[in-house]
A and B are shown apart, each in its own frame.
Chain A
């Protein structure tokens, strides 16, 4: 069974440009999470989808970030316009149910570099 996949693995963009990150969760997992690790800092929660609905988006830093999960399958995270402080590794995770939140399976991450 394929695990959580993320695309691209690495993105380098200039300040002011737009980038879209994609996450494909494990098939059948209703819960999808986005996290971000800025250099030297903790992994921070961004938001949580249950199917196509945003359950919790309290971690989204500002309105330059837009996450979607149309159809409840894959999710995209768009950053527009990107700023230098957006650089970091963006992780996606999925889990089968809230009762089994410990079963969060993480993707490999997308390393975003904004120059």
Chain B
């Protein structure tokens, strides 16, 4: 079955430490992969997508087709990065398939 796996439900790091949120996907075609973020008391919003290959708020994610992974990384975590992060892919049909989400806590 097509799905997205985020193995860590909770991740805690100290401010200034590197952070990596893992995401693996299983999809037979060529999906478009995304990371969404939901900060406390805010709505879900797009953080970045693999096609654009851009860095948003210091976060980057590289699509590794061999490992079917799309891990989200940031070299120096900030307290304001604390949030719920969802990895997702979109098919040509438009609907998104999400992982379970990872709650990131950045401690001072």
Contact = CB atoms under 8 A, between A and B. Distances in A.
B93 interface: yes
A74 interface: no
B98 A43 contact: yes
Interface string B69-98: 000000000000000001010101111111
**On chain A, which size bracket covers the interface?**
20 to 34
Contact of B94 (A40, A44, A98, A106): A98
A45 interface: yes
Interface residues of B, number: 23
21 contacts: A3-B43, A33-B94, A35-B98, A42-B4, A42-B98, A42-B100, A43-B101, A44-B98, A48-B94, A48-B95, A55-B94, A56-B94, A56-B95, A59-B95, A98-B92, A101-B90, A102-B51, A102-B90, A103-B46, A106-B43, A108-B43
**Chain A to chain B: the 10 pairs with minimum beta-carbon distance, closest first:** A43-B98, A106-B44, A45-B95, A42-B100, A101-B94, A108-B43, A42-B98, A101-B90, A106-B43, A98-B94
